[in-house]
């Protein structure tokens, strides 16, 4: 096996990327305190060609040195919008017929392996690293998804959750079943 060079990967240019159809998936970052996690989420969003990222509350916005450090240029390719209040973002998404899902451990949450994202306009709300998604936001969501975990920790890093969710949405909609 020979590692591929960047040229051999055949990635689109920035201008071509902007013209490509995007997956109807929006990440909503609800008061994410680490700009490094925000940057990682941008990079993941670029990799899976998702529609946008909504940055809410205390979540840092570009240009930000720590976002740029982990995004590696993805802030130029991924559309983003800032909302002072996450509930405003959720209301806008619902008015545009998105299914809005919080990623959170709740009573009656749906395990990720049981979620169906096929052909749905979906927004996924990811919360603060310590406090999670605000309860008022959870109350406004259509349902909650939980990522199964078997270890001793109570949660995954928010940017890791974003990666898992984007992959699962991509897998269900663009890869052969």
What is the per-residue pLDDT for 177? Answer: 46
Q: Give 117-153 pLDDT, tens digit per residue.
A: 988 899 999 999 999 999 999 999 999 999 999 999 9
Note whether residue 95 is domain-resident: yes
CATH number, domain of 58, equals 3.40.1280.10
Residue 1 in any domain: the answer is no
The reply to whether 6 falls in a domain is no
Whether 28 maps to a domain, the answer reads yes
pLDDT above 90: percentage of residues in the chain: 94
Give the number of other Cβ atoms within 10 Å of residue 173's Cβ: 17
Question: What pLDDT was estimated at residue 43?
Answer: 98
Mean pLDDT over residues 12-19, rounded? Answer: 96
Name 101's Cβ contacts closer than 8 Å, sequence gap at least 6: 115, 122, 123, 124, 125, 141, 142, 143, 144, 145
pLDDT at residue 119 in the model: 81
Domain boundaries, position 71: 21-174
- Confidence tier at 175 by pLDDT (50, 70, 90): low
- Identify the pLDDT of residue 174: 84
- Could you identify the residue written with the tokens 């996924």? 124
């Amino acid at each position: 096996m020979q590692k591929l060079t960047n040229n051999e990967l055949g990635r689109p240019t920035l201008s071509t990327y902007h013209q490509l159809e995007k997956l109807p998936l929006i990440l909503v970052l609800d008061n994410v305190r680490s700009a490094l996690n925000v940057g990682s989420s941008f990079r993941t969003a670029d990799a899976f060609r998702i529609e946008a990222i909504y940055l809410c509350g205390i979540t840092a916005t570009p240009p930000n040195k720590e976002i740029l450090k982990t995004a590696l240029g993805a802030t130029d390719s991924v559309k983003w919008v800032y909302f002072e209040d996450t509930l405003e973002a959720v209301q806008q998404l619902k008015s545009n017929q998105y299914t809005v899902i919080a990623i959170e451990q709740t009573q009656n949450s749906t395990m990720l392996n049981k979620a169906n994202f096929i052909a749905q306009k979906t927004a996924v709300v990811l919360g603060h690293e310590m406090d999670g998604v605000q309860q008022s936001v959870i109350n406004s969501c259509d349902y909650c998804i939980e990522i199964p975990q078997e270890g001793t920790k109570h949660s995954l890093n928010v940017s890791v959750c974003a990666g898992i969710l984007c992959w699962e949405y991509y897998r269900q909609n663009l890869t052969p079943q």
